[in-house]
């Protein structure tokens, strides 16, 4: 059974592994069309193995995620699970909007209350509307009515913005993005330390950095090999690194397959503490990720605009990303999307204007041809 971490100040015991519902399995290519049968199996297996924290939001799966959670979790005893969802601050145009949004979410989730309620992805610029529309006062009223239990926020901004947001309310919990690579990104590890010092329970999202810390090229993968006892997954090192931080109460994973659910449960059932050798290895992995490139593009954007609107920087980034992580779906997804908006590298006419402006002297038309050929190779 997955470990649980008691949050004394809230008198709750969420599972160390939380189930994020932003990347549920879908049917076809429509992000909003959730595969209910597959998702139900994943939910049931997770719950049977001790997972009790489920997170969603208004926008996930084109607005369907909350409904899917409500539909598939209602067969389980409500008191045995913790539901988390979020308020998009931008949706609040007047004081009454908070109550409207929450009522709709309660209906979607088919529940009378929401355990963990977050202001969604707020930053320093949100402080003014939060105060103007009395959002926190409204949430306090909903809490007094028993419709929400605990008030927190999720964050995707700078450390400076984080320090401002943390001071506007006596937050009961906070969700941040953190992993062993992004220790200085957004609020970073310093933000985690601030939460720990203030006694604010921490929930972590993107522990595997959107899946990119689960798969690498052969050179980086080789760094993990001496430490992969019992054929441990590469992703498991990300979760274990976070599990060693005591103020992290939930590690939220956006799981898309039964295999991911099984692996994460295995990792966070009596998670093995990281050894000093493993920590040094992860530092080396971080260094390799930040310094390994197939194409020496610095994303300076001097090559833009392209006369025919090719997304040059995006294409070079996608190629480098594939070179490091070897995740075909991410690369082919980029190619599919840019083909849809007519910015695909296959449109390149080799005019050379981009290369003439490139400080790195990259033969950009030639690299774009390689990118087009890579897509053909992956699909063949």
Q: 151-202 pLDDT, tens per residue?
A: 999 999 999 999 999 999 999 999 999 999 999 989 999 999 999 999 999 9
pLDDT digit string, tens, across residues 39-66: 999 999 999 999 999 999 999 999 999 9
**Which tops the pLDDT comparison, 111 or 291?**
111
Conformation bin of residue 146: beta by default, left when phi > 0, alpha when psi is -120 to 50: left
Asked if 152 contacts 117 with a C-beta cutoff of 8 angstroms, the reply is: yes
Band of pLDDT at residue 309, cut at 50, 70 and 90:
very high
Q: Which of 306, 175, 319 is nearest to 247 (CA)?
A: 175
Band of pLDDT at residue 223, cut at 50, 70 and 90:
very high
Which of the 8 DSSP states describes residue 22?
Answer: S
Q: Which of 379, 158, 334, 217 is nearest to 166 (CA)?
A: 158
Cα maximum dimension of the chain: 65
Q: Beta-carbon neighbour count of residue 65 at 10 Å?
A: 25
Asked if 86 contacts 59 with a C-beta cutoff of 8 angstroms, the reply is: no
What SS3 string covers 100-166? Answer: HHHHHHHHHHCCCCEEEEEEEEECHHHHHHHHHCCHHHHHHHHHHCCCEEEEEEEECCCHHHHHHHH
Cα–Cα distance for residue pair 254/263, rounded to 1 Å? 13
The 3-state DSSP class for residue 288 equals helix
Question: Where do we find the tokens 């320090």?
Answer: 163
Averaged pLDDT for residues 320-325: 92
Determine if the pTM surpasses 0.85: yes
Cα–Cα distance for residue pair 358/133, rounded to 1 Å? 48
Averaged pLDDT for residues 333-358: 94
Phi and psi torsions of 124, nearest 5°? -55, -30
Residue 140 CB contacts under 8 Å (≥ 6 apart), including other chains:
151
User: Which residues pair with residue 290 across a beta bridge?
Assistant: none
- What is the separation of C-alpha 46 from the centre of its chain, rounded to a whole number of angstroms? 19
Length of the chain: 380
The segment(s) of the chain belonging to CATH 3.20.20.100 are 17-283
Q: Please tell me the CATH superfamily of domain 17-283, with its number.
A: NADP-dependent oxidoreductase domain (3.20.20.100)
Asked if 175 contacts 118 with a C-beta cutoff of 8 angstroms, the reply is: yes
| Secondary element (H or E) of residue 55 | strand 53-55
Residue 241 CB contacts under 8 Å (≥ 6 apart), including other chains:
179, 180, 274, 279, 282
Note the pLDDT of residue 261. 98
Q: What angle do CA 10, 154, 182 make, to 5 degrees?
A: 115
Please provide the distance, in angstroms rounded to a whole number, between the alpha carbons at the two ends of the chain: 42
Cα–Cα distance for residue pair 342/309, rounded to 1 Å? 8
What is the secondary structure of 28-50 as a DSSP string? TT-TT-B-HHHHHHHHHHHHHTT
Note the pLDDT of residue 210. 85
Cα–Cα distance for residue pair 203/274, rounded to 1 Å? 20
Cα–Cα distance for residue pair 6/149, rounded to 1 Å? 16
Instruction: Name the token pair of 107.
Output: 């209906």
Cα–Cα distance for residue pair 141/121, rounded to 1 Å? 22
Averaged pLDDT for residues 118-127: 94
């Amino acid at each position: 059974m997955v470990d649980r971490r008691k949050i004394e100040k809230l008198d709750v015991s969420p599972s160390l592994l939380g189930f994020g519902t932003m990347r549920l399995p879908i049917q076809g290519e429509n992000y909003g069309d959730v595969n209910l049968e597959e998702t139900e199996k994943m939910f049931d297996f997770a719950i049977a193995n001790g997972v009790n924290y489920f997170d969603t939001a208004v926008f996930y799966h084109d607005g369907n995620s909350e409904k899917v959670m409500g539909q598939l979790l209602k067969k389980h005893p409500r008191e045995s699970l913790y539901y988390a969802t979020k308020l998009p601050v931008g949706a609040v145009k007047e004081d009454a909007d908070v109550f409207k949004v929450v009522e709709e979410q309660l209906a979607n989730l088919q529940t009378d209350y929401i355990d963990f309620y977050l202001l969604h992805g707020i930053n320093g610029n949100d402080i003014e509307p939060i105060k103007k529309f009395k959002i926190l006062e409204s949430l306090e009223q909903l809490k007094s009515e028993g419709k929400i239990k605990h008030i927190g926020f999720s964050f995707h901004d700078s450390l400076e913005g984080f320090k401002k947001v943390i001071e506007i309310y006596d937050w009961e919990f906070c969700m941040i993005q953190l992993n062993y690579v992004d220790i200085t990104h957004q609020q970073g590890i310093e933000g985690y330390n601030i939460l720990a010092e203030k006694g604010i329970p921490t929930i972590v999202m993107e522990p595997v950095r959107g899946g990119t810390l689960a798969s690498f090229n052969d050179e980086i993968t080789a760094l993990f090999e001496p430490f992969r006892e019992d054929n441990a997954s590469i992703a498991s090192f990300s979760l274990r690194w976070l599990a060693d931080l005591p103020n992290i109460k939930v590690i939220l994973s956006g799981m898309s397959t039964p295999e991911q659910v099984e692996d994460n449960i295995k990792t966070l059932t009596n998670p093995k503490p990281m050894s000093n050798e493993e920590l040094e290895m992860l530092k080396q992995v971080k260094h390799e990720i930040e310094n390994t490139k197939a194409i020496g593009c610095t994303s300076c954007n001097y090559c833009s605009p392209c006369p025919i609107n090719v997304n040059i920087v995006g294409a070079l980034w996608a190629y480098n990303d594939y070179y490091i992580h070897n995740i075909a779906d991410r690369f082919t997804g980029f190619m599919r999307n840019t083909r849809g908006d007519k910015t695909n590298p296959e449109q390149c006419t080799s005019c050379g204007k981009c290369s003439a402006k490139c400080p790195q002297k990259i033969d950009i038309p030639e690299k774009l041809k390689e990118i087009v050929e890579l897509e053909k190779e992956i699909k063949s």
